[in-house]
């Protein structure tokens, strides 16, 4: 079966995620228990019943999403469903790496926790903000960022789909870019509830420190290709993967290009493995010919398995 596994990034987390999965599937429960033991914190309890405020903290949200996505993928694999290609949006790229076999789950969990800690520290030293610009072409948003750069760093952070670009940088510069975007006819400009200016040059120091963490990790040749955020292209090369992961902190997520690459590979079906349906919506806007099935809990797992069984 030609199938893409897609993994959402930070912002998709929600209280209760993974609870039903762990309750019904022993393999899912084992992954949560492993995470609790490795991190030395009750991450499973935080996912299942923690407050939204605590779960939304970068240091918690990133490992929590990794655990939920990997657990969902494990259940599908146990039922004979494996990917031909993987991709993840920002943090979701790490779930894609685990599922592709490029890095073991336990080691990736350490890496993601360090990534979250380094990003959180960087945001305290160099606070920033992000905003989603809807209804303008990519080139126009890039021009707006250049015109607003007199107020500080501001640049495209996520090319999510045609007509949706997230900008990131210093708060004053992002605010100025938002004003200019409205003047240029943007349908909406939505400030994001984040304190980390992800995928911008404000993360330069974080990227330098994080590169050392990347080099400490043990990497393996992936079993299937991964579409990398930074390039929008597939790779199985470990040197390229490591380079892209470091660059991802300061460079934009080219999700529109990632989806185009999946289409070029001939794949027309995908599953979004994680809470919510963010990627399902983005892929529909990028390439309607790809059918995405959101899988987040036992009910949606069963629905997908039944659908595949009937084909």
Element (H, E) at 31: helix 26-39
User: Is 110 noted as a catalytic residue in this protein?
Assistant: no
User: Which residues are bridge partners to 85 per DSSP?
Assistant: 4
Identified catalytic residue from 90, 100, 168, 296 = 90
Rg (CA), the chain: 19
Question: 199 catalytic, yes or no?
Answer: yes
Q: Say how far apart CA 21 and CA 108 lie, in whole Å.
A: 21
- For the stretch 226-237, what's the b/e string if a residue is b when 16 or more beta carbons lie within 10 angstroms of its beta carbon? bbbbbbbbbbee
Using an 8 Å Cβ cutoff, are 127 and 119 in contact?
A: no
Three-state secondary structure call for residue 220: coil
276 CB contacts (<8 Å, ≥6 apart)? Answer: 8, 12, 14, 294, 296
Distance CA 295, CA 302 (A): 9
What gap in Å lies between CA 148 and CA 6, rounded to an integer? 34
Q: Which of 12, 168, 199, 300 is catalytic?
A: 199
Residue 222 · residue 236 · CB < 8 Å = yes
Reported as type and span, the H/E element at residue 227 is strand 226-227
Count, residues in the chain: 311
Listed in sequence order, the residues at least 6 apart from 60 whose beta carbon sits closer than 8 Å to its beta carbon are 43, 46, 50, 54, 116
Catalytic residues: 90, 199
């Amino acid at each position: 079966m030609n199938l893409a596994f897609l993994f959402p990034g930070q912002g998709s987390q929600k209280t209760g995620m993974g609870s039903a999965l762990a309750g019904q599937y022993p393999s899912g429960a084992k992954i949560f228990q492993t995470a609790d033991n490795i991190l030395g914190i009750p991450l499973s309890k935080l996912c299942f019943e923690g407050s939204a405020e605590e779960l939304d903290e970068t240091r918690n949200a990133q490992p929590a999403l990794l655990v939920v996505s990997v657990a969902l993928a494990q259940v599908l694999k146990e039922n004979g469903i494996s990917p031909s290609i993987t991709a993840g949006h920002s943090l979701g790229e790490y779930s894609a790496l685990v599922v592709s076999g490029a890095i073991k789950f336990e080691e990736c969990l350490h890496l993601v926790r360090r990534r979250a800690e380094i990003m959180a520290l960087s945001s305290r030293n160099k606070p920033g903000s992000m905003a989603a610009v809807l209804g303008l072409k990519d080139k126009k948003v890039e021009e707006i960022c250049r015109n607003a750069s007199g107020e500080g760093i501001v640049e495209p952070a996520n090319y999510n789909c045609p007509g949706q670009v997230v900008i990131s940088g210093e708060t004053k510069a992002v605010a100025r870019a938002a004003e200019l975007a409205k003047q240029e006819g943007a349908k909406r400009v939505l400030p994001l509830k984040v304190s980390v200016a992800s995928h911008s040059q404000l993360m330069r120091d974080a990227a330098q420190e994080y590169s050392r963490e990347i080099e400490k990790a043990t990497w393996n040749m992936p079993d299937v290709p991964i579409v990398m955020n930074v390039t929008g292209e597939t790779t199985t090369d470990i040197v390229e993967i490591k380079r892209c992961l470091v660059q991802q902190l300061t460079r934009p997520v080219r999700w529109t290009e990632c989806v185009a690459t999946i289409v070029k590979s001939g794949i027309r079906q995908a599953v979004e493995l994680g809470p919510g349906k963010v990627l399902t919506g983005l892929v529909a806007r990028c390439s309607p010919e790809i059918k995405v099935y959101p899988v987040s809990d036992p009910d949606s797992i069963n629905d997908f398995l039944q659908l595949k069984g009937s084909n």
